């Protein structure tokens, strides 16, 4: 016998970052993100407000200039036009003012050297149209600019054009001041937040660490632990729930220890769900038994290497287990290349026969998918035969003092096994009694009476075709 290795002591966990530090970082990060987002939003709002105010002021100046420039333009009074330009340039935000004739020749300009020359506009700006045009662009020397282009029209005839440039340096300076103030306020808020976050994380981490230590104790098998409830908030409720969990685990552990050497794991789980409603002594129960067997497994196993046989059985068992548990059945035992499942025990199920039929159909569908997969892999296909029998059986624990298991025995079980043995590949056979329990839910084809081993009288057998459309 292989000597058992002593259990290794639980490894002490090491945390690179304590919970207190993580909470502090999280709260601080959220605070920083919030402050940054609010600051960016306020700065953007201020920028938009200043830009809108500057645009409004520029439109007013451009419209006033265009109204004042029409008469001097018609009378070729260049002196008055230049006086208008000079007065407009007194505004510190005005970068340039240009007045041209209808051919684009400069008549008045903030730069006197450009008077008399064709107007040279910055690249990317749209030409003057019939309506006032407001555009923004970047000037290498003066930065962001707002350009106002106003057609000078007299009696529906354009006689010239007015171009007014506004520099946004004042906006940028105001934003820089606001940004510096915001950074200062944000730093103060973050420092205050770090202190508050550290204090809050300390308060939160203390009971959580206590819960962690209690969880380790339970993991080590100590179900007698009970933690003091620190407060009446969510942490206190969590601690109380932990204590209730420890109490429940103590009770379930007692039940497990009492029944683990007598019954299978599935039965123990059912006991733990509702111990008061379950008895494991022998009793007559109305159940449905399902047998499923791989057809032609013996000759297939002789041809295949042992590794492939084990792989096939594992895939088969996985499919049978998952399908049975999906429909709340109990997997009673493995019989070589066959399985036996019970419905209606150990816990009663009013629709146990319907559950068994649905399980059988799901098994056939799963086997079909598994067989197609094997064919794609160049392996031999497989098929199963299934027998389902419903009726009375004795349910309870059987075995010896050292090994007991929960199962069902009786004529119903034997009949299900016989049906499985005569089922052809892909067939699901049921008895007439079983059909009476699921009539209206399934579609079945009568196969007549069949002589089965162990029974003197012939048994009416039906083949399940599928579920009805209303099922």
Are 157 and 285 in the same domain? no
What does the H/E/C string look like for 251-300? HHHHHHHHHCCCCCHHHHHHHHHCHHHCCCCCEEEEEEEEEEEECCHHHH
Predicted confidence at residue 371, as pLDDT, reads 94
Reply yes or no: is the peptide bond before residue 389 cis, omega within 30 of 0: no
Q: What are phi and psi of 136, to 5 degrees?
A: -120, 150
Q: Is residue 11 part of a domain?
A: no
Q: Is residue 248 part of a domain?
A: no
CA distances from 208 to 89, 202, 224 (A): 69, 10, 19
Task: Quote the CA–CA distance of 204 and 212 in Å, as a whole number.
Answer: 13
In this structure, what token pair is assigned to residue 274? Answer: 């509702």
Residue 290 sits in which domain range?
Answer: 281-467
Are 285 and 415 in the same domain? yes
Predicted confidence at residue 10, as pLDDT, reads 44
Task: Quote the CA–CA distance of 293 and 338 in Å, as a whole number.
Answer: 4
Task: Quote the CA–CA distance of 290 and 433 in Å, as a whole number.
Answer: 14
Q: How crowded is residue 152: how many other Cβ atoms within 10 Å of its Cβ? A: 22
CATH code of 449's domain: 3.30.70.1230
In this structure, what token pair is assigned to residue 84? Answer: 């208008």
Q: Is residue 274 part of a domain?
A: no
Query: Which residues fall within 8 angstroms of residue 64, CB to CB, at 6 or more apart?
Result: none
Q: Is residue 260 part of a domain?
A: no
Contacts 24+ apart (CB under 8 A), 131-134: 132/59, 132/62, 132/63, 134/55, 134/58, 134/59
Predicted confidence at residue 276, as pLDDT, reads 55
Cite the beta strand spans of 127-188 per DSSP E.
133-139, 143-154, 157-167
Torsion 76-80-84-86 (CA) sign:
positive
Q: Is residue 151 part of a domain?
A: yes
Parallel/antiparallel/unpaired status of strands 94-101 and 428-431: unpaired
In this structure, what token pair is assigned to residue 338? Answer: 């066959």
Q: Is residue 185 part of a domain?
A: no
Task: Quote the CA–CA distance of 84 and 94 in Å, as a whole number.
Answer: 13
Are 461 and 315 in the same domain? yes
Work out how many domains the chain is built from and give that number.
2
Q: Is residue 235 part of a domain?
A: no
Predicted confidence at residue 416, as pLDDT, reads 92
Are 312 and 444 in the same domain? yes
In this structure, what token pair is assigned to residue 31? Answer: 């605070």
Are 164 and 313 in the same domain? no
Parallel/antiparallel/unpaired status of strands 384-399 and 428-431: parallel
CATH code of 27's domain: 3.30.450.20
**Helices first, then strands: H and E counts in the chain:** 10, 13
Q: Is residue 272 part of a domain?
A: no
Contact 428, 416 (CB under 8 A): no
**pTM for the predicted model, two decimal places:** 0.47
Q: Which of 143, 173, 203 is the last residue of a domain?
A: 173
> 92 by DSSP, 3-state: which?
coil
Are 463 and 324 in the same domain? yes
Task: Quote the CA–CA distance of 37 and 46 in Å, as a whole number.
Answer: 14
Predicted confidence at residue 428, as pLDDT, reads 95
Task: Quote the CA–CA distance of 260 and 342 in Å, as a whole number.
Answer: 20
Can you say how many angstroms the Cα of residue 288 is from the centroid of all Cα atoms in its chain? 39
Query: Which residues fall within 8 angstroms of residue 147, CB to CB, at 6 or more apart?
Result: 122, 125, 133, 134, 135, 136, 137, 163, 164, 165, 166
Task: Quote the CA–CA distance of 368 and 321 in Å, as a whole number.
Answer: 16
In this structure, what token pair is assigned to residue 356? Answer: 């068994």
Nearest to 392 by CA among 287, 278, 283: 287
Are 287 and 139 in the same domain? no
Model pLDDT for residues 379-388, shown as the tens digit of each residue = 999 999 999 9
Task: Quote the CA–CA distance of 372 and 368 in Å, as a whole number.
Answer: 6
Task: Quote the CA–CA distance of 159 and 59 in Å, as a whole number.
Answer: 20
Contact 66, 159 (CB under 8 A): no
Q: Which of 173, 192, 209 is the last residue of a domain?
A: 173
Compute and round to an integer the Cα radius of gyration of the chain: 44
Predicted confidence at residue 273, as pLDDT, reads 64
For the chain, which residues score pLDDT lower than 70? 1-20, 234, 254-281, 399-404, 470-471
Q: Which of 173, 204, 238 is the last residue of a domain?
A: 173
């Amino acid at each position: 016998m292989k000597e058992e290795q002593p259990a290794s002591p639980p490894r002490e966990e090491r945390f690179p970052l304590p919970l207190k530090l993580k909470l502090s970082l999280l709260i601080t990060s959220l605070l920083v993100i919030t402050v940054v987002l609010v600051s960016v939003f306020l700065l953007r709002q201020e920028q938009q407000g200043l830009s809108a105010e500057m645009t409004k002021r520029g439109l007013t100046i451009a419209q006033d200039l265009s109204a004042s420039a029409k008469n001097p333009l018609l009378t070729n009074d260049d002196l008055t036009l230049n006086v208008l330009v000079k007065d407009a340039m007194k505004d510190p935000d005005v970068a340039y003012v240009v007045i041209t004739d209808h051919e684009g020749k400069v008549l008045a300009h903030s730069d006197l050297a450009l008077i008399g020359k064709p107007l040279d506009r910055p690249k990317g700006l749209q030409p003057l149209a019939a309506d006032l045009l407001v555009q923004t662009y970047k000037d290498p020397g003066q930065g962001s600019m707002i350009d106002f282009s106003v057609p000078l029209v007299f009696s529906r005839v354009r006689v010239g054009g007015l171009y007014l440039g506004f520099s946004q340096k004042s906006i940028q300076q105001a934003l820089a001041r606001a940004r510096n103030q915001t950074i200062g306020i944000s730093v103060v808020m973050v420092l205050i937040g770090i202190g508050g976050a550290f204090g809050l994380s300390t308060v939160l981490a203390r009971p959580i660490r206590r819960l962690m230590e209690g969880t380790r104790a339970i993991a080590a098998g100590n179900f007698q632990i009970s933690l003091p409830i620190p407060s009446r908030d969510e942490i206190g409720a969590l601690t109380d729930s932990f204590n209730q969990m420890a109490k429940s685990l103590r009770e379930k552990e007692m039940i497990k220890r009492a029944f683990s050497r007598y019954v299978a794991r599935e039965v123990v789980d059912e006991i733990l769900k509702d111990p008061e409603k379950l008895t494991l002594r022998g009793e007559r129960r109305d159940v449905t038994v399902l047998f499923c067997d791989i057809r032609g497994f013996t000759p297939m196993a002789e041809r295949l290497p042992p590794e492939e046989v084990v792989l096939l059985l594992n895939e088969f068992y996985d499919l049978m287990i998952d399908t049975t548990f999906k429909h709340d059945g109990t997997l009673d035992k493995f019989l070589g290349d066959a399985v036996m499942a019970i419905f209606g025990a150990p816990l009663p199920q009013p629709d146990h026969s319907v559950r068994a039929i649905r399980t059988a159909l799901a098994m056939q569908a799963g086997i079909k998918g598994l067989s197609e997969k094997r064919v794609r892999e160049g392996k031999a296909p497989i098929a199963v035969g299934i027998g389902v029998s419903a009726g009375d059986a004795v349910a309870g624990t059987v075995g010896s003092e050292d090994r007991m298991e929960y199962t069902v025995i009786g004529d119903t079980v034997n009949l299900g096994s016989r049906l499985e043995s005569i089922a052809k590949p892909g067939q699901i056979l049921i008895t007439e009694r079983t059909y009476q329990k699921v009539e209206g839910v399934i579609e079945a084809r009568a196969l007549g009476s069949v002589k089965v081993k162990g029974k003197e009288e012939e048994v009416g057998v039906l083949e399940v075709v599928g579920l009805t459309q209303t099922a």
